[in-house]
Amino acid sequence: MDSNSVSPMPELAPIAEFDKSPPSPPNEEVPMDDLPPPPATISQPEGKTKLQRTRSYDSEDTERGACEWCEYALVITLATVLLLGVSGLTVFWILYYREGFGWADDIPEKQFNLHPALMVAGFVTFSGFSVLLYRICRCLRRIYVKLLHAIFHALAMPCIVIGFLAVLDFHNKKGINNFYSLHSWIGLTAMGLFGLQYAVGFFSFLLLLICSKGTAGFRASLVPVHAAFGVLTFVLGVAACLTGLTEKALFTIGNETYASMSEESIVMNAIGVSIVGVAIVVLYTVRGTGGHRTRTVAAQHPS
């Protein structure tokens, strides 16, 4: 058994179910400060002790370790390419086909252009990086991972707010009604959830650390709720982007040009496909999050 084979994706799925696991590897000291401390050690029949919350390793450790590192590297590379690519492609589309950005009264369309670019940046790129970092960062202390998670969401927030104001003001300037489409309903819900999640997350997982011990139980019970609503917000953001792209294609390129597979149609569809790709990678990395709740409950009641 190789004690250095540290799995790179720590909490994707609780896998110590058939636990015959070795002691925690040396560098597995990630403080789980939202979880109550596990009931430390239990005695084994052989007289050894072991940490209860460790990964299970078996006779094929080295090979599994290598596979997991490959998966880790692949997910990070793919995610980075897609997350940066989708915003890059959106900016390219607007600069090359839609005359760029602006906030002047004479060309309100340039102001509208801020909407797709900023919403994709906020709901997909920054939010996606934030979720991914939280799931895959292993080498950093937990508090730094949480700060990174908060910072990336903090970067997403002005994007979403300005992106929202851009389209609201554009509609008002052009005399177009607001909040009538499925896109806007989904987007509004996603924005509301985003704000709520940020406020609750910031208060609970950062501010309440001032009284770390006293709030451990509350914070632990909030983790799975925050995770579930986080995934929901992300998925709603993606759905809003896809319906928004469809609307924009039909409004601006027009039905017939869109149907003739113009260059711009293909670029816009490529943006949509990239967003779907991002969603797949992010949902893949957060799979098994549901196990968290039960582990927390079990940790609180170690029988």
Binding to a second copy (CB under 8 A) within 61-120 occurs at 64
* Window of 45-53, 91-99, 109-117, 121-129 that interacts with a second copy by CB under 8 A: 45-53
The binder of a second copy chosen from 28, 33, 71, 247 (CB under 8 A): 247
The binder of a second copy chosen from 58, 63, 99, 109 (CB under 8 A): 58
Whichever of 209 and 264 has its CB closer to a second copy, that residue is: 264
Q: Is 50 in a helix, a strand, or coil?
A: strand
Looking at the DSSP bridge assignments, the partners of residue 51 are 41
Q: Is 41 in a helix, a strand, or coil?
A: strand
Q: DSSP state, 167? A: H
Residue list 263-302, contact with a second copy (CB under 8 A): 265, 268-269, 272-273, 276, 279-280, 283-284, 287-291, 293-295, 297-299, 301-302
Looking at the DSSP bridge assignments, the partners of residue 49 are 43
C-alpha distances (whole Å) from 25 to each of 30, 35, 45, 55, 148 are: 11, 20, 21, 9, 25
Number of residues that bind a second copy (CB under 8 A): 74
* Residue ranges in 249-290 assigned as alpha helix (H): 255-259, 263-285
Residue list 176-205, contact with a second copy (CB under 8 A): 176-177, 180-183, 185-186
CA–CA gap between residue 235 and residue 158 (Å, rounded): 19
Tell me the pairing of strands 49-51 and 41-43. antiparallel
Least Å from the CB of residue 25 to a second copy: 16
Would you give the binding string for a second copy spanning residues 119-158, x where CB under 8 A is met?
----------------------------------------
